[in-house]
Structure 1
């Protein structure tokens, strides 16, 4: 059986990046449906030139509604969703094409895959990732839900996770403030309309955090913790609460939230690194070392929001500095070299640190 794959996306004023992602997706998609929510630039023309079907949709502060408009127009057996500022590398394009031919079928409902939400522009390495529903069989009941931070509700539970089907997010920094303002406006409207779901509480708090309203964010996170979602989401909330407290100067609460995060998920590294840095910033080198050492021993999980450097080079970098301050220069050099091996992008500073430790050692 030949599987037809439909791409669906929503766009608005995306002329800088839309052509790129459509060209990348065209190699493995049989149909491309682009929903335009009110562009004033060349976005619709670029989409049509790329071979996409372009649908107009009057924006009404509801991402799920816009995405469902595109979903309803798809005619493929399976759908894949993307955003206009996403990137699919050649390796991932080949993986999607192979999965389409060999994996997609009626014996499966969906595929989740890594969404590399933040990529270092200098090194090209992923710095922040989480798994997302990426492909789904087009069946009755397949719908997007949520006015903002929407999710694809998938009938059936036959799900496969594929690490090779990576999509990278390359947002325009200029748009970040406007998108934060828009998302906060949308979620505040949902709140006024009576949505008190755990998910809405969580993302309301996150949008307040991103808008710099830390005190208000803490209140919403506290409300969320009264009826939290998954453990990984609760863990992320505790990390965010700690960051808000740090910016507000509430150091005791900052540390308390991190200790709570470690108790909840001792196999995750982010809270260990943050607690190590809590002591590091106070030049409490010996107190910081156990937390960095614990983080350095952990493996990157497949669930939840993941800060990739915390599972690779970052803890070793901090360990090297702490050890140097304690006069343990041989160990410091070894930690710095290991941090470099694991992808630390600040090679110049590492070299300087190593040379300094070597001068003290010999």
Structure 2
């Protein structure tokens, strides 16, 4: 059985740190917590779980802080978490089994990062990260903001999730890091432009975000997945600006980088036609979004809503607009499988009463015809 060091960086995380450690402390063999300047009870909480609490002055560089936390690890493998992450019970069992069975020649194990969930437990944002790595490989952290671990060698993908349960958002923190880098004359990589665009978009600067995304797209270097989402996010910026034509052009541009459509593009294209009351075109794209199978080995962002409840709910509206109430009702019920108490779905269901045949009644009628 392998041994695992948990490595974390924290600052003012008294509200969530115990919640995180309660879900992992009995699986790992060592806990290393690096505090970067807490002024609340974070350090006291950390010391309830480990005597390996260290201090590192915050420099504005996340990669430097994570690298410092890795320096204190002494076990065969390193697992990293943020204070507002948790391991759900199903994933705790999977992680225990992995610890017992992992081939020690593996350099890194990637796991899902469920970075967002809705009120019904549906994952809203998911991507993979190299989560468990061999200590003796000395893999390095890169990036002052939106940092990543530069990993190579024997990597395996596991169906284990780390679930992010954020209760606060550091508005503008990462954007300020990027602006500081610009002021000191740093050269931006394609990845930098992509994440800088994201920060600008999320902080209400769509025009500047579009320029950053275009920089990413224009550069020959860079991860094709970032370029795909640069097109998607650029489309969102144009939508926020009321520019429907450039929104659609940006969404269609994303096909250049994926070859085949993805739900995140299809549902947005559907909505573009939907807003223009071109309902049959909208239905085509929404329907396509529901037919595209997710790839569990995909490393880039995945937003499951765009292939599940969202296009069904939108098709409910579109079919009702063209007078096909029965099909509209059926799509509302498909959306309800994911969000059973959603206010919009319940409102639609009430509106359909007396206007359509319930699904079970239709099923019975079809069975009678067959017999």
The two structures have a TM-score, normalised by structure 2, of 0.90
Task: Please say if 1:190 is aligned against 2:181.
Answer: yes
Q: Describe how 1:231-250 pairs up with structure 2 within 5 A.
A: 231-250=224-243
Decide which of 284, 290, 293 is 1:296's aligned counterpart: 290
Contact 2:36 2:55 in 1 (8 A): yes
Deviates more, 1:269-278 or 1:322-331: 322-331
Counterpart-to-counterpart distance in 2, 1:40 and 1:62: 19
CA separation of 1:246 and 1:267: change in aligned 2, threshold 3 A: closer
For residues 157 and 10 of structure 1, what CA distance do their matches in structure 2 show?
A: 26
Alignment-derived partner of residue 312 in structure 1: 308
Task: Provide the residue aligned with 1:324 in structure 2.
Answer: 320
Answering whether residue 227 of structure 2 is matched by residue 254 of structure 1, we say: no
Alignment CA distance shift 1:240-1:153 (3 Å): same
Q: Quick check: 2:32–2:50 contact (8 Å CA) kept in 1?
A: no
TM-score (norm 1): 0.92
Whether the 8 Å contact between 1:35 and 1:57 is mirrored in structure 2 is: yes
1:69 is matched with: 68
Match of 1:217 among 209, 213, 219: 209
Match of 2:126 in 1: 129
Equivalent-residue separation in structure 2 for 1:66 and 1:12 (angstroms): 11
* Count of equivalent residues: 352
Given the alignment, which residue of 343, 354, 358 partners 1:359?
354
2:167 pairs with one of 146, 167, 172: 172
8 Å CA contact retained: 1:27, 1:97: no
Q: CA RMSD in A?
A: 1.7
In structure 2, the partner of 1:40 is: 39
Q: Distance in 1 between matches of 2:2 and 2:130?
A: 19
Q: Shift of the alpha carbon at 1:70? A: 0.8
CA-CA distance at 1:346 after TM superposition: 4.5
Contact 2:67 2:140 in 1 (8 A): yes
Q: Distance in 2 between matches of 1:321 and 1:209?
A: 28
Distance 2:51 2:322 in 1: 61
Please give the alpha-carbon distance, in whole angstroms, between the structure 2 residues aligned to 1:104 and 1:53: 28
**SS at structure 2 position matched to 1:111:** strand
Question: Quick check: 1:59 aligned with 2:51?
Answer: no
Unpaired stretches in structure 2, ≥5 consecutive residues: 358-371
> How has the CA–CA distance of structure 1 residues 218 and 345 changed in structure 2, closer, same or farther, with 3 Å as cutoff?
farther
Once residues 312 and 81 of structure 2 are traced to their aligned partners in structure 1, the CA distance between those partners, rounded to angstroms, is 35
* 1:347 to partner: Cα distance: 4.0
Q: What is the CA–CA distance in structure 1 between the aligned matches of 2:354 and 2:319, rounded to whole Å?
A: 15
- In the alignment, the residues of structure 2 paired with residue 184 and residue 348 of structure 1 have an alpha-carbon distance, to the nearest angstrom, of 35
Give the SS at the match of 1:166.
strand
